[in-house]
Chains A and B, each alone.
Chain A
Amino acid sequence: MSETDPEVILEAVNLSKSFGGKPALQDLSFSVRRGEIFGLLGHNGAGKSTALGIFLGMVEPDGGEARIGGESVQRRRERALRQAGAIFEAPAFYDYLSGWENLKVLMSYSGGFDADAAQQVVEEVDLSDRVHSRVSSYSHGMRQRLALAQALLPEPRLLLLDEPTDGLDPEGIKWFRDFILRLRAERGITVLFNSHLLPEVEQMCDRVAIVRRGRKVYDGELAGIADDHVKLEIEADPAGQASACYRKLGGRELEEGRRVIFPEGTDPAEVARALIKAGVDLRKLIPVRRSLEDVYLEVIGCLDGEEGEQ
């Protein structure tokens, strides 16, 4: 065991990885605490799946270390993975076997199959009716529920989810979300949720890290994201005078001036007063809650802007 905080279940320490000389991950570090649902966000190809591959010992990092429950995945892979279950975007089962047989086969690699425990998990994921049918006859939603069953059977304390709701219908997404939230509430399972579906992450996660081109560009709590800035939807005329006012108050315009972000603690009334005092015709001023999507686009947008300037 390494000397890490026992409350930290998952830890990425300066992870780097290149494929064919092209960096996929650069010095990525973050940690996930016990019972947390942590979102790893990023566009396609940002390096999320590479990070997950490293956590599961499927991808060997060029540098750094991944730890699960304090155990190094690179040095003690089996001990580390005994604590984790994983679900992939498109879980690949043995289509010619039944769901039950798939569980038996997969569990043989995790220390053995317990029929009673399997029956219980199958009921939990609502697959009892079809578990003895061939997987080739399963819908995507059923495959995903079977994937949940195989991940939960070894009773892990950490779940690694790689785009698990991709391709599910709204009903399936809601079922999956509620199930994960219930798992955390009832069993205290820690979850790493790897996704580019921002509304999903927003509804499930306590904390997120945003990865862009292999680098972490944001790491923080979702509650903080929603509250630390003030975002206003404003209609004011003339636009030039209004923009000058915003700048004076530290504001930054978004969506061609329709929305403005102000620093933490800015009072919307103060903005209104400043605009009126400057002789601006103020037609609308509505406080808007910043969504994760806003933050994501701002972070990515700012970086794109900075790179463009360079």
Chain B
Amino acid sequence: MKLFLIQLRSELKKLFARRRTYIGYGAFLVLELVILWVFHLDGPREEIAKILSDTGLEVEHYYSALTVTYWMIGFSMAMLGAIYLALVSGDIVAKESEDGNLRMVLARPISRLRVLTLKYLAVLIYTVTFVWFVGVSGYLMSSIALGWDGGLFVWNYDLKVFSFFPAATVGIGRLSLSLVFLSLSMFTLSSIGFAFSCLRIKPASATILALSVLFVDSVLQMLPFMAPYREHLLTFRMSNWIYVLENTVSWAKLAENYTFLVGLDLTLFVLGWMAFKVRDFKT
């Protein structure tokens, strides 16, 4: 176990020492600033104020750092988050294979399954740190702009979620819990990228394929005649983290959804491993 942890640390060191890994963090800070600026504009501000007042909620209390952070997380993860996670997970095996590093690793007394397990865990850890970075940095920036106090207001038309948490501490707790489930959701994207990365393809191809799966799934979800089948689509299931922000959480629904996603993640890992196992590595 100790050796496994040392190996995992090496894997993380390799991952986090690469410049590409950090570009994502930088890009997110910029995106969050842009979103914060947009929320300061009169138009969006008035729109949210109208929704709040229509529902009888106090605008000053709920137009807060927590509410803005919720929107930031939703927007940025759906847009940039998917791209960076696909980039890193698509790279994790394919890039080392392309550069020849993998031959140096596979020349050592370590099984391919262990090599892949380490890489998969590294990708999952990256996914968690990424999601939390977005959440925490978003909240810090919003707090600087709007003050830390205030309630959390959550509204999602597609998922029919409408909830509010008056106390800031409760809102922080719920938002933190939602980050846990968002991480689980994003594991699926990382697993897709990882599985493609195990094939004999270029890293960019693995990334593009992972994003294509996500894109096609999103398009299907938007088609009106796909509405009855929406719950079977990946992007719908991945957006289920928002249900954690309902005033009364349906744990059974969440458990069913995340059992499906975790099962899918494991299946993708096994498929990736099977493809990797039969590959020949040669100059």
Contacts and interface: CB of A to CB of B under 8 A. Distances in A.
Q: What size tier do the contact residues of chain B reach?
A: 20 to 34
A57 interface: yes
B105 interface: yes
Nearest to A80: B109
B101 A53 contact: no
B23 interface: no
B101 A93 contact: yes
Interface stretch (B146-154, B196-204, B275-283): B275-283
A77 interface: yes
A19 B13 CA distance: 35
B88 to A, nearest CB: 15
A112 B281 CA distance: 24
A19 B106 CA distance: 20
A90 B99 CA distance: 10
B14 to A, nearest CB: 6
Interface in B73-116: 99-101, 103-111, 115
Q: What size tier do the contact residues of chain A reach?
A: 35 or more
A50 B283 CA distance: 9
B10 interface: yes
A94 B14 contact: yes
Given A88-B283, A112-B6, A57 B106 contact: yes
Interface in A103-148: 104-106, 108-113
Interface of B: 3, 6-7, 9-10, 13-14, 17-19, 99-101, 103-111, 115, 278, 280-283
19 contacts: A49-B283, A59-B282, A60-B278, A84-B107, A89-B283, A91-B100, A92-B100, A92-B101, A92-B104, A93-B101, A96-B17, A105-B10, A108-B3, A108-B6, A108-B7, A110-B108, A110-B110, A112-B6, A113-B6
Given A58-B103, A59-B281, A104-B10, 16 more contacts: A49-B283, A53-B280, A77-B111, A78-B111, A81-B108, A88-B107, A88-B283, A90-B100, A91-B100, A92-B100, A94-B101, A96-B18, A97-B13, A106-B108, A109-B109, A162-B283
Interface of A: 19, 49-50, 53, 56-60, 77-82, 84-86, 88-94, 96-97, 101, 104-106, 108-113, 150, 154, 160, 162
